[in-house]
Amino acid sequence: MPFLGQDWRSPGWSWVKTEDGWKRCEPWRQDLDRESAQRSVPHSIILNSEDDDIFTSEEHGYASKKRKKDHFRNDSNTQCFFREKWIYVHKESTRERHGYCTLGEAFTRLDFSSAVQDVRRFSYVVRLLQLIAKSQLTSLSGVAQKNYFNILDKIVHKVLDDHQNPRLIKDLLQDLSSTLCILIRGVGKSVLVGNINIWVCRLETILAWQQQLQNLQMTQENHGLTLSDLPLHMLNNILYRLSDGWDIVTLGQVSPTLHTLSEDRRLWKKLCQYHFAEKQFCRHLILSEKGHVEWKLMYFALQKCYPTREQYGDTLLFCRHCSTLFWKDSGHPCTATDPDSCFTPVSPQHFIDLFKF
């Protein structure tokens, strides 16, 4: 049969030959057909022979299709997914492509739900959700909103279960609740896709999550060797590998030894030099009574004025040859002779900028 697909460079859709002709194979349709076959009752049992003329076979088929569609739409926990874990980014119509790609479509196609479970991508996804909450929440479609809050729900429950990275998700929920409060109060002035009551329920859910995280208690487990038992040079090496000042402060609260190491001026000086330029130092120079530079105070002062360098274990990649966004392990159908030379890491802010028109 002729090639049919979204793009002449893509592998195309999966098609199945039926009695009515060729039909596209959808990932969730087989499950719905199987569930419908188990639950559906033949209409000949419900209707008597005298009532057969009321519902024709065509009307019964239409009702069956509508029931499947309503079942899929009403399942709020259903995650919309696609077989391909990449998306072609285009902002205008071309001969091969018509229309344009939106932020919501990219958010749905790139499988962020699975990325949350990867420790290398967790902070990357959280930061991306935070940027969307700050400025792009109103641009999400209904399906993208559902995926957004489903992923957020997974992140919250993951943090509550393993007690890791609670500060990241607290900052995300704080920004999201602030944005929703402003949007809900300004109904009519701002555009919110969906019913206002749905957004109020989402805000209440966010406030409940914040309360759960506020009551989160860290349990101490003793399995022999602890962090405080390590030699001083190893503890110092761990502190120098941290790129976030708040992580250093938190680690310094574990023991008096770590507190002393976390107050090292050279440690904070190196952290400032990693995140900020020398010109920025001169504008926010903080000196002690003895004339020494207070690097720790300077770091937090500079953090309020300038963005810090972001460091992630794994990020999305953008292929300049194909204009495609994808995860490194999933790849994409690239036609370049040397694909690796065309790949560029995509920061969360760069991801947002790709879909601004």
What is the count of structural domains for the chain? 3
Last residue of a domain, one of 176, 199, 215: 215
Angle between helices 166-185 and 196-214 (to 10 degrees): 150
Q: Which two tokens stand for residue 54?
A: 């009321």
Residues 329 and 288 in one domain: no
Render each residue's pLDDT in the chain as its tens digit; 357 residues.
Answer: 444 444 445 555 677 778 777 777 655 455 545 545 554 444 443 344 444 444 444 544 545 555 444 444 444 454 444 556 788 887 666 665 555 677 777 877 888 888 888 888 899 999 999 999 988 888 888 888 888 999 999 999 999 988 888 889 999 999 999 988 888 887 656 667 778 888 889 999 999 999 999 888 777 666 677 787 888 999 999 999 998 888 999 889 888 899 999 999 999 999 999 998 888 887 888 887 777 888 889 999 888 888 888 888 888 988 888 888 888 887 777 877 887 888 888 888 888 888 775
Is residue 162 a part of any domain in this protein?
A: yes
Is residue 11 a part of any domain in this protein?
A: no
Is residue 126 a part of any domain in this protein?
A: yes
Last residue of a domain, one of 196, 215, 234: 215
Is residue 177 a part of any domain in this protein?
A: yes
What per-residue confidence (pLDDT) applies to 222?
64
Is residue 329 a part of any domain in this protein?
A: yes
Residues 259 and 291 in one domain: yes
Is residue 344 a part of any domain in this protein?
A: yes
Residues 208 and 129 in one domain: yes
What per-residue confidence (pLDDT) applies to 130?
92
Residues 287 and 338 in one domain: no
Residues 295 and 323 in one domain: no
Angle at 321 between CA 319 and CA 327, to 5 degrees: 20
Last residue of a domain, one of 286, 305, 324: 305
What per-residue confidence (pLDDT) applies to 357?
58
What per-residue confidence (pLDDT) applies to 91?
62
Is residue 180 a part of any domain in this protein?
A: yes
Q: Which domain holds residue 174?
A: 102-215
Residue 293, classed as helix, strand or coil, is strand
Residues 176 and 259 in one domain: no
Is residue 232 a part of any domain in this protein?
A: no
Residue 248, classed as helix, strand or coil, is helix
Residues 196 and 116 in one domain: yes
CB 84 within 8 A of CB 147: no
Predicted model pTM:
0.69
Residues 113 and 197 in one domain: yes
What per-residue confidence (pLDDT) applies to 75?
46
Three-state DSSP string of 217-233: CCCCCCCCCCHHHCCHH
Residues 147 and 108 in one domain: yes
Residues 300 and 329 in one domain: no
Residues 285 and 321 in one domain: no
Residues 207 and 106 in one domain: yes
